[in-house]
Amino acid sequence: MTRAATPPAEVASPLNALFHGDFLVLAARLADDSVDVVIADPPYNASKGGDWTWDAKAGLPGFGGDWKKVDQTWDDMSLDQYFGFTLAWLGEVKRVLKPTGSLWVHGTYHNIGVINVAMQMLGIEIINEVAWYKRNSFPNLSARRLTASHETILWAHVGKTRRYRFNYDWAKAASFPEDRLKEAGKQMRTVWDVPNNKARDELAHGKHPTQKPLRLAERILKLSAAPGQVCLVPFAGAGTECVAAVREGLDFIAAEVDEAYVEIARRRLAAEAVR
């Protein structure tokens, strides 16, 4: 979820190994049409405005701990910088993703419009816009705007014809204990009720400030991929999508520039290997 100022000189063999470095450096070693599904959680370019913190001891039950607004240098670019950054990584994703593959991109109102326009410029077709409803999202502390209770996930493909994988039967039959909107036997809609809290094992080795719940990545892979395929994770963060790929029987290729998060992700993957 972060980017490097100076990329490393060499890249090791990428399959099922988390690369510590810039995704664009890793992508240069990947062949055209070589991956089956991409889950991208890029910087949202949201580190703007003042700082916010919340001490859980002060009250507000149900939100499980202290909270701090994401305020990272890697998440604060000018519009021109962010647009160029987006075109660069999406261009490489388009090149390495198979025509039968799927691309999933996370975002919010801070960045999803830029990503949408960049996709259209690159000829990447959006299949669906998913609203990830976070029932337990943090309240708006400033009391100056509505409480942000969802994020956007764009599902797209790069083929000239619509040959992407869609596990329709699974999607229709599926139900989830925490999702109050999805009923077994009913078609899956574009609003997903997935609480943002994580299981204890997801945080046991550390956490990323914008870490997604594992069950969200697992749903994406069940919907659009199959065991034995290859999942590309350009911004690995704490490794959630990599762990989901392992659990769903996929190989993964991933990059992350921040050493602290690389170590967290590697510890999670090592623990996964002995489950």
Closest listed residue to residue 38, CA positions, set 238, 221, 167: 221
Tokens representing 60 are: 């507000």
Q: What is the mean pLDDT of residues 147-164?
A: 95
Residues 238-247: pLDDT tens digits? 999 999 999 9
The more confident residue out of 65 and 151 is 151
Which pLDDT band, with edges at 50, 70 and 90, does 21 fall under?
very high
The pLDDT, as a whole number, for residue 47 is 54
The pair phi, psi for residue 130, each rounded to 5°, is -95, 130
Q: What domains are defined for the chain?
A: 18-273 (3.40.50.150)
Q: What whole-number percentage of the chain has pLDDT above 90?
A: 75
Which pLDDT band, with edges at 50, 70 and 90, does 72 fall under?
low
C-alpha 34/C-alpha 232 separation (Å) is 10
C-alpha 154/C-alpha 25 separation (Å) is 24
Q: For residues 201 and 271, is the Cβ–Cβ distance under 8 A?
A: yes
Residues 211-238: pLDDT tens digits? 999 999 999 999 999 999 999 999 999 9
Helical segments of 61-195, H only: 79-96, 112-122, 168-173
Tokens representing 77 are: 């670019």
pLDDT at residue 264 is higher than 80: yes
- When mean pLDDT is compared across 18-32, 67-81, 91-105, 218-232, the lowest value belongs to 67-81
The pLDDT, as a whole number, for residue 70 is 47
Which pLDDT band, with edges at 50, 70 and 90, does 75 fall under?
low
pLDDT at residue 38 is higher than 50: yes
The pLDDT, as a whole number, for residue 89 is 97
Residues 92-108: pLDDT tens digits? 999 999 999 999 999 99
Mean pLDDT, rounded, of the chain: 87
pLDDT at residue 57 is higher than 90: no
Q: For residues 214 and 20, is the Cβ–Cβ distance under 8 A?
A: no
